[in-house]
Homo-oligomer: A and B are copies of this chain.
């Protein structure tokens, strides 16, 4: 697959504009004081389906030709991407097939079903997931939309940073969390195209620092069931995201689990925003490394807000 480019991000932004929110950028003096920097938070927790994933999935669905689209789309994510894909497919009037392990939490099944997604249950193993997905695709002719290792998905995710930079042009640094790397890759494309002097830094849990290792070692390090409260960041990089990130991301900063929970709580208390643990990782990493970022103007992508209010981590 060809790597997506800045032009693809621009096209994606136009394509998805009617279907997603242009989310607000929010500042907070008391967080600025804590960070010793000036923060501009792009609120993708306020995005459709509660996460930036709406951007990439919508771009992938609306980029399909009529003929191909008619056969539907499919994926095997059980998280925000599945809900986002189901929503985008419904907007286009086509089926979305989602392969989910039988062990997936009912709340995630309901989210997908709520958007009209068609769920196929499989055993909770990677092999079963891939076999089942292949069977669904073979039976339906649906187009597989990977949650992050897909040029259209990456380009769509980049539209968040595009909007952020359009609103706050003179950023020194943009930070985004990194799991599979779709958001961070799209961010790299947007920032490089729009504001080459602005640095891009990823953030991930110290307990799941496979992206940091991958970029340091020059090869994709697998993510072996890491234990982190940031459940959106447990996956490893894909070939496309690795290729985009290497050499173009300045680095990956990490945060400890307690720092992630504390940062999440800070965002709730000070900014009055519901964010999920994964979304708090950049702020946690920034606070943990504040001496290295003092005085800078930092854009942060608050990636999502889907969290179980009955199981808060504090």
Contacts and interface: CB of A to CB of B under 8 A. Distances in A.
Interface of A: 21, 24, 26-27, 29, 45-46, 48, 50, 265, 268-269, 271-275, 305, 309-310, 312, 314
B273 A50 contact: no
B305 A272 contact: yes
Given A24-B24, A265-B309, A309-B265, A45 B272 contact: yes
A128 to B, nearest CB: 31
A2 B309 CA distance: 47
B50 A272 contact: yes
B272 A275 contact: yes
A269 B46 CA distance: 11
Contacts of A271: 46
A240 to B, nearest CB: 29
Contacts of A48: 29
Contacts of A305: 272
Contacts of A45: 272
A29 B50 CA distance: 12
Nearest to A271: B46
A160 to B, nearest CB: 15
The 7 closest A-B pairs by CB, nearest first: A272-B305, A24-B24, A272-B274, A45-B272, A268-B274, A46-B272, A50-B272
Contacts of A272: 45-46, 50, 273-275, 305
A203 to B, nearest CB: 20
A309 B269 contact: yes
Contacts of A21: 27
25 contacts: A21-B27, A24-B24, A24-B26, A26-B46, A29-B48, A45-B272, A46-B271, A46-B272, A46-B273, A50-B272, A265-B309, A268-B274, A268-B309, A269-B274, A269-B309, A272-B273, A272-B274, A272-B275, A272-B305, A273-B273, A273-B274, A274-B274, A309-B312, A309-B314, A310-B314
